[in-house]
């Protein structure tokens, strides 16, 4: 499957054992499940708790994933706020042919303006030997990806896509209009149908950790415009259930409850006990599975 044909990427969690070490048995199970569903894979994003892992652990996670030889595109997160460290990370990742792309987030905490962002992203784009998706997530970084930066870098050969997760449809539309050849992906599961209507290319998803096949069908329906208000409400419920407390706590809790992973362990400051009630996830799971089955039967 090519990068350009991949309309959904799953921001995969990093499962951990009861002591907080990476649980590679569960991790392989999750990765193969995503591959079988035809979802592209993003490892070491914020949903994967990348910043809570040491550099050695990040390398171990990446090398493990690469060695599985999965049949879908693999994207790797590039985060943090120390430019030299991120340049080293990109240089390290460049050696792996199995990596299809990078996800590069606006610098954390520093809240740079347009000039600082342009220097940051141009440096990373120049270092990369892969296509790159720039990531706007102001709820985590404190600042939006500046329009001027998108326009200034739009002709860079490694600038392939944007992940827009501000929840602002007008901002999404503006990114689409600034650089019409750049793919703009939704970073908001619940808004996929609305963003598809204004030029969205696909979705970088959290909910697909739980419902990969159904989420892929949801994205396909959104992009084709063949989606009902009832279906939109269903996926709003699914998204709400996965963000009732800080991501990825609900996803880990449900995957552990359903035995896809062995433990719901997270790294501090995230704690599984923040979620005390699985009823919303249970309701969403029932509704999504029923919808997916009906869609399959209707397609026959």
Residue 227, H or E segment: none
CA 40, CA 42: separation in Å to the nearest integer?
7
As a whole number of Å, the end-to-end CA separation of the chain is 24
Cβ-based neighbours of 145, under 8 Å, separated by 6 or more: 106, 117, 134, 135, 136, 162, 175
Phi, psi at residue 57, to the nearest 5°?
A: -65, -40
CA 214, CA 289: separation in Å to the nearest integer?
8
**What positions carry a catalytic annotation?**
135, 163
Cβ-based neighbours of 144, under 8 Å, separated by 6 or more: 106, 136, 138, 166, 171
């Amino acid at each position: 499957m090519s990068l350009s044909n991949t309309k959904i990427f799953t921001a995969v969690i990093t499962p951990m054992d009861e002591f907080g070490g990476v649980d590679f048995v569960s991790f392989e199970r999750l990765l193969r499940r995503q591959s079988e569903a035809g979802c592209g894979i993003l490892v070491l994003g914020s949903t994967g708790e990348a910043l809570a892992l040491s550099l050695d652990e990040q390398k171990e996670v990446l090398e493990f994933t690469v060695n599985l030889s999965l049949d879908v595109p693999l994207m790797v997160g590039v985060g943090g706020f120390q430019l030299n460290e991120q340049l080293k990370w990109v240089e390290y990742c460049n050696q792996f042919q199995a990596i299809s792309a990078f996800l590069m987030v606006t610098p954390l905490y520093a809240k740079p303006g347009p000039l600082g962002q342009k220097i940051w992203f141009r440096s990373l784009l120049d270092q990369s030997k892969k296509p790159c998706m720039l990531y706007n997530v102001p709820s985590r970084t404190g600042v939006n990806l500046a329009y001027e930066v998108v326009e200034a870098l739009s002709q860079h050969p490694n600038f392939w896509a944007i992940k827009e997760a501000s929840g602002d449809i007008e901002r999404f539309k503006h990114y689409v209009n600034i650089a019409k050849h750049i793919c703009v992906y939704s970073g908001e599961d619940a808004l996929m149908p609305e963003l598809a209507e204004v030029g969205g290319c696909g979705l970088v998803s959290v909910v697909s950790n739980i419902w990969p096949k159904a989420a892929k069908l949801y994205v396909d329906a959104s992009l084709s415009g063949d989606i009902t208000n009832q279906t939109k409400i269903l996926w709003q419920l699914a998204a709400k259930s996965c963000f009732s407390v800080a991501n990825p706590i609900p996803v880990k809790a449900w995957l552990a409850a359903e035995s896809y992973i062995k433990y719901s362990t997270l790294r501090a400051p995230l704690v599984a006990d923040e979620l005390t009630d699985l009823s919303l996830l249970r309701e969403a799971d029932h509704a999504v599975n029923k919808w997916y089955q009906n869609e399959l039967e209707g397609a026959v």
